[in-house]
C-alpha cells in the first residue's frame, strides 16, 4: 500500500509540473489537459514504464535539428543584395551544382564568368553582356568542358582588334535553341573593313582546337572576320548561321570562315549572309566544306596563298553548296611572286546564281588586293577538280576566269556548265590546261 501511494504521488508531481509548464501559454487547450490526465492514468497502471512514456511525449513536442547542420541561404535578388547595390559578384549565378569531378555552372554576368569558369565542367552563358574592349575568353578550360550559349550575347563598342570571343583546347561549344550572339557590327561598318577607318574587332578566334565540335551558333553582324581558325586539328563546325545583313551595306572583310595552318577541319551546313568570302583557306590540309549556303559575299575561296609562314593548301573538298548574289562562285587565288603550292582541291556540285564578276576564278597574279595582269608560277595549282559546277552569272560577268603562270596549272579535271555573262578575253584567260578547253 505504501509503495502504491509513493508511485501515485510521484506520478502526480510530474503531471503537475508539466501542466504548469504548458499552462504558461495562453493557447494551451483543454484537449492537452485531457491528454495529461490520460498519461497519469497510464503511469499509475504501468509503474516503471511511466518514465519511458514521458520521454516519448517530449521528443515530439517540436522539431529536432542536427548539431552543425547547414542551412542553405536564399538566392533571390533581394536576399543576395542585388537590389541593395552590392558590387561583389558571385562566382556564378544560379548556384553551380556539383556533377562528378566538376560543376555545372550558369553565368549571367561577365565578371562572374571570369572569376568562376575554371572550376566548371559545363558552362551555360545566359544573356552575357561583354564589356567594351573585353574578350569573352573560353581559353584554358579543362578538356571536355561543354560551353552553351543561351539567350542573347552582346558586346560593348570600342575600336580595337578583338577578338570578341576566343577558345582553344578540347572543349565543345554549342548554342541553345533560340539563342543569338549579336555583335551589332554595324557600329563599326565604314566601307573599309580591316583596310582602314575604324579599328574593328574580329569575332571568334578558334586557336589550337583539337578533336572537338562547335555547333548550332546563331550570329548577327560581325564587325570584320567571323571565325578565325588557326593551328587546329580535327575540328568540326556544324550548323553555323551568320547574318551580317542587319548591319547594312558598308560591311567589308567580313569573311565567315578563315582557315590557316590547320588540318582535318570540317564545316557542315553553314548559312552565311556577308560581304566577303564565305570560306577562305589560306593554308591547311584535309579540309571539308559541305552543304554551305553563301549569300552576298565573294564566294568560296582558296587563298590568297603565299607570303605566309605556311603556304600549302592540300586535300580540300568543297561540295553540295549554293553560292548566290555573290561576286564569285568558286575561287582560287595565289600571290604573284610568292612560293607555295595548291594541290588536290575539289569543288563539286556547286550551284551558282546572281554572280556579278566570275563563276569560276583561278588566278596567280593576286597582289595587294587585286590582279597584276602578270601571273607567276611560284605557287603551282595541281590536281584541281571542278565537277558539276552549274548555274548562271550576270550579263557583265565572266563564266570562267583563269590566269595561270607558265606551266603552273597541271592535271586538272573540269566539268562546268555556267550560263549567261560574257566570255573572258585573252587577258583573263591565260595558260589554261587542256581539260578546260575555253574560258
pLDDT at 207 over 50: yes
Q: Looking at the domain assignment, is residue 339 inside a domain?
A: yes
pTM metric for this prediction: 0.78
User: How many whole angstroms separate alpha carbon 12 and alpha carbon 36?
Assistant: 10
Q: Is the pLDDT higher at 30 or at 425? A: 425
What are the E-state strand segments in 275-378? 277-281, 284-290, 293-295, 299-305, 312-324, 328-335, 341-355, 358-367, 370-371
By CB atoms closer than 10 A (0-12, 13-18, 19+), residue 52 is exposed
Residue 369 has a pLDDT of 87
Predicted confidence (pLDDT) per residue in 278-288, tens digit: 999 999 999 99
Domain count, the chain: 1
User: How many whole angstroms separate alpha carbon 48 and alpha carbon 107?
Assistant: 63
Residue pair 81/88 in contact (Cβ under 8 Å)? The answer is: no
pLDDT grade, residue 21 (50/70/90)? very low
Residues forming a β-bridge with 265: 235, 287
Residue pair 134/110 in contact (Cβ under 8 Å)? The answer is: yes
Q: Looking at the domain assignment, is residue 52 inside a domain?
A: no
Average pLDDT over the chain, rounded to an integer? 84
Q: Looking at the domain assignment, is residue 327 inside a domain?
A: yes
Q: What are phi and psi of 58, to 5 degrees?
A: -70, -35
Residue pair 3/9 in contact (Cβ under 8 Å)? The answer is: no
Q: Looking at the domain assignment, is residue 388 inside a domain?
A: yes
pLDDT at 128 over 50: yes
Instruction: Count the neighbouring beta carbons within 10 Å of the beta carbon of residue 40.
Output: 18
Predicted confidence (pLDDT) per residue in 75-85, tens digit: 333 333 333 33
Q: Looking at the domain assignment, is residue 34 inside a domain?
A: no
Predicted confidence (pLDDT) per residue in 243-273, tens digit: 999 999 999 999 999 999 999 999 999 999 9
Mean pLDDT over residues 195-202, rounded? 98
User: How many whole angstroms separate alpha carbon 389 and alpha carbon 382?
Assistant: 19
> What domain range includes position 252?
127-430
Mean pLDDT over residues 136-161, rounded? 99
The residues carrying an active-site annotation are: 298
pLDDT at 57 over 60: no
How many residues are listed for the chain in this entry?
439
The full 3-state SS of 371-407, as one line of letters, equals ECCCCCCCCCEEEEEEEEEEEEECCCCEEEEEECCCC
Residue 29 has a pLDDT of 38
pLDDT grade, residue 52 (50/70/90)? very low
272, three cell numbers: 552565311
Residue 102 has a pLDDT of 61
Q: Looking at the domain assignment, is residue 101 inside a domain?
A: no
User: How many whole angstroms separate alpha carbon 140 and alpha carbon 319?
Assistant: 34
| DSSP assignments along 202-236, one per residue | -SEEEEEEEEEEEE--EEE--SS--EEEES-EEEE
pLDDT at 34 over 60: no
Residue 90 has a pLDDT of 36
Task: Express the helix, strand and coil content of the chain in percent, nearest 5 each.
Answer: 20, 40, 40
By CB atoms closer than 10 A (0-12, 13-18, 19+), residue 288 is middle
pLDDT at 30 over 50: no
Residue 41 has a pLDDT of 38
pLDDT at 62 over 70: no
287, three cell numbers: 579540309
By CB atoms closer than 10 A (0-12, 13-18, 19+), residue 333 is buried
Q: Looking at the domain assignment, is residue 22 inside a domain?
A: no
Mean pLDDT over residues 178-194, rounded? 99
CATH code (residue 386): 2.160.20.10
Predicted confidence (pLDDT) per residue in 227-238, tens digit: 999 999 999 999
Residues forming a β-bridge with 266: 236, 288
Q: Looking at the domain assignment, is residue 170 inside a domain?
A: yes
User: How many whole angstroms separate alpha carbon 422 and alpha carbon 400?
Assistant: 9
Mean pLDDT over residues 329-348, rounded? 99
Amino acid at each position: 500500500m505504501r509503495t502504491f501511494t509513493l508511485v501515485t504521488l510521484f506520478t502526480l508531481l510530474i503531471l503537475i509540473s508539466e501542466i504548469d509548464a504548458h499552462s504558461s501559454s495562453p493557447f494551451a487547450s483543454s484537449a492537452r489537459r485531457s491528454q495529461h490526465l490520460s498519461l497519469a492514468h497510464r503511469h499509475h497502471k504501468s509503474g516503471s514504464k511511466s518514465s519511458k512514456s514521458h520521454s516519448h511525449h517530449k521528443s515530439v513536442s517540436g522539431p529536432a535539428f542536427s548539431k552543425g547542420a547547414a542551412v542553405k541561404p536564399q538566392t533571390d535578388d533581394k536576399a543576395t543584395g542585388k537590389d541593395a547595390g552590392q558590387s561583389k559578384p558571385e562566382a556564378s549565378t544560379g548556384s553551380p551544382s556539383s556533377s562528378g569531378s566538376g560543376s555545372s555552372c550558369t553565368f549571367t554576368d561577365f565578371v562572374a564568368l571570369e572569376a568562376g569558369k575554371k572550376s566548371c565542367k559545363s558552362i551555360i552563358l545566359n544573356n552575357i553582356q561583354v564589356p567594351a574592349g573585353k574578350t569573352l575568353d573560353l581559353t584554358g578550360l579543362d578538356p571536355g568542358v561543354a560551353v552553351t550559349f543561351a539567350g542573347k550575347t552582346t558586346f560593348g563598342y570600342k575600336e580595337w582588334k578583338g577578338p570578341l570571343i576566343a577558345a582553344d583546347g578540347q572543349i565543345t561549344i554549342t548554342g541553345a535553341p533560340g539563342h543569338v550572339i549579336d555583335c551589332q557590327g554595324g557600329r563599326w561598318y565604314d566601307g573599309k573593313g580591316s583596310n582602314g577607318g575604324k579599328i574593328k574587332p574580329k569575332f571568334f578566334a578558334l586557336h589550337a582546337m583539337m578533336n572537338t565540335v562547335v555547333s548550332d551558333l546563331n550570329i548577327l553582324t560581325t564587325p570584320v572576320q567571323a571565325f578565325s581558325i588557326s593551328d587546329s586539328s580535327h575540328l568540326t563546325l556544324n550548323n553555323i548561321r551568320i547574318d551580317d545583313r542587319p548591319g547594312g551595306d558598308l560591311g567589308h572583310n567580313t569573311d565567315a570562315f578563315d582557315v590557316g595552318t590547320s588540318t582535318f577541319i570540317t564545316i557542315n551546313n553553314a548559312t552565311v549572309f556577308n560581304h566577303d568570302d564565305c570560306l577562305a583557306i589560306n593554308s591547311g590540309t584535309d579540309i571539308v566544306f559541305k552543304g554551305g549556303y553563301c549569300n552576298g559575299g565573294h564566294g568560296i575561296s582558296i587563298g590568297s596563298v603565299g607570303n605566309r609562314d605556311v603556304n600549302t593548301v592540300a586535300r580540300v573538298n568543297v561540295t553540295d553548296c549554293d553560292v548566290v548574289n555573290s561576286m564569285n562562285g568558286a575561287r582560287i587565288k595565289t600571290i604573284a611572286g610568292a612560293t607555295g603550292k595548291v594541290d588536290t582541291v575539289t569543288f563539286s556540285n556547286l550551284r551558282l546564281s546572281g554572280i556579278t564578276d566570275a563563276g569560276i576564278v583561278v588566278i596567280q597574279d593576286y597582289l595587294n588586293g587585286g590582279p597584276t595582269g602578270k601571273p607567276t608560277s611560284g605557287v603551282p595549282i595541281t590536281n584541281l577538280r571542278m565537277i558539276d559546277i552549274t548555274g548562271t552569272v550576270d550579263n557583265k560577268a565572266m563564266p570562267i576566269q583563269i590566269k595561270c603562270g607558265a606551266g603552273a596549272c597541271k592535271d586538272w579535271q573540269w566539268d562546268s556548265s555556267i550560263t549567261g555573262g560574257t566570255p573572258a578575253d585573252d587577258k583573263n584567260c591565260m595558260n589554261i590546261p587542256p581539260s578546260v578547253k575555253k574560258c
